[in-house]
């Protein structure tokens, strides 16, 4: 059955609110001594908007602010929090904490704590899909902050993706080619070091619009 537009909007809003509530709880736990986590507060719409457009066969690679992407993909918040707290009932048996989570059953290949690390692996995942791994027609979506666009691997990944016509990244609302934009974080120092907006890279690699 096709979902009505009001229902789809309500569902997306609900997911955004779930993400916010989850992150706020994680922060509260952290202030009481629980292991730290990088939150995605303020980025809920980007997570839900992109993930909602994906299909089950698609793959996701994400960065240190991965909770929103995982929850938008249907992760169980209790299991996710269990992972952050290092418990065995977490997605990776408590071994990854918040910074390295992968959840095969959700198609979330990895969380990279190395800024741009997710970019280095995304073209490989897309190439594997193209070579017949997983369901046919699947795409790879990679989330990264715009600070990652200061890393050399950003250019290598974009070039490789365009060359192999494999990685399809989805446009997100701030109008940049791919990256999530976050104000007030460590990446602002990166902005000052970059002579052109990340969006300019689209032209460099003839990145397609869709
Ligand atoms: C290669 C590398 N350099 C530096 C860091 C330290 N670091 C962690 S988060 C971060 C900011 C990254 O900015 P951005 O990708 O825009 O993400 P944001 O945290 O702003 O969402 C930095 C520099 C790191 N983890 N990896």
The residue segments making up the domain with residue 51 are 5-202
Alpha-carbon dihedral angle through residues 158, 141, 99, 174, given to the nearest 10 degrees: 80
Q: What is the DSSP string of 27-49?
A: HHHHHTTPPP----TT-HHHHHH
Query: Could you tell me the distance, in angstroms and rounded to a whole number, from the CA of residue 133 to the centre of ligand 1?
Result: 31
Does the pLDDT of residue 28 top 50, yes or no? yes
Q: What is the pLDDT of residue 187?
A: 45
Q: Residue 154 is encoded by which pair of tokens?
A: 């950003």
Q: How buried is 128 (Cβ within 10 angstroms: 0-12 exposed, 13-18 middle, 19+ buried)?
A: middle
* Residue range 105-164, pLDDT digits in tens: 999 999 999 999 999 999 899 889 989 999 999 989 999 888 888 888 988 888 888 777
Residue 69 lies in a domain: yes
Query: Could you tell me the distance, in angstroms and rounded to a whole number, from the CA of residue 90 to the centre of ligand 1?
Result: 25
Split into its structural domains, the chain has a count of 1
Residue 208 lies in a domain: no
55: nearest Cα among 132, 137, 155: 137
The pTM is what?
0.86
Whether ligand 1 lies within 6 angstroms of the CB of 185 is answered as yes
Give every CB contact of residue 106 below 8 A, 6+ residues apart in sequence: 60, 70, 73, 74, 75
- Ligand 1 pocket test: pick from 187, 192, 193 the residue with the most ligand atoms within 8 Å of its Cβ: 187
* Residue range 148-187, pLDDT digits in tens: 888 889 888 888 887 776 545 543 333 343 445 454 444 4
Residue 207 lies in a domain: no
Residue 129 lies in a domain: yes
Residue 16 lies in a domain: yes
CATH number at residue 97: 3.40.50.970
Residue 79 lies in a domain: yes
Query: Could you tell me the distance, in angstroms and rounded to a whole number, from the CA of residue 115 to the centre of ligand 1?
Result: 5
């Amino acid at each position: 059955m096709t979902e009505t537009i009001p229902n789809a909007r309500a569902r997306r809003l609900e997911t955004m609110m779930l993400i916010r509530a989850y992150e706020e709880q994680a922060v509260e736990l952290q202030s009481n001594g629980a292991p730290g986590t990088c939150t995605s507060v303020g980025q809920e719409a980007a997570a839900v908007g992109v993930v909602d457009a994906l299909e089950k066969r698609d793959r996701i690679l994400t960065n240190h602010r991965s909770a929103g992407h995982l929850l938008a993909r249907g992760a169980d918040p209790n299991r996710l929090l269990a992972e952050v707290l290092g418990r065995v009932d977490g997605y990776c048996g408590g071994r990854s904490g918040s910074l390295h989570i992968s959840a095969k059953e959700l198609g979330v290949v990895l969380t990279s704590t190395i800024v741009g690390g997710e970019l280095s692996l995304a073209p490989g995942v897309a190439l594997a899909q193209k070579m017949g791994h997983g369901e046919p027609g699947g795409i790879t979506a990679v989330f990264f902050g715009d600070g990652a666009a200061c890393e050399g691997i950003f250019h290598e990944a974009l070039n490789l993706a365009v060359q192999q016509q494999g990685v399809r990244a989805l446009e997100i609302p701030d109008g940049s080619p791919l990256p999530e934009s976050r104000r007030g974080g460590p990446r602002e120092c990166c902005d000052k070091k970059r002579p052109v907006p990340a969006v300019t890279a689209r032209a460099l690699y003839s990145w397609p619009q869709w």
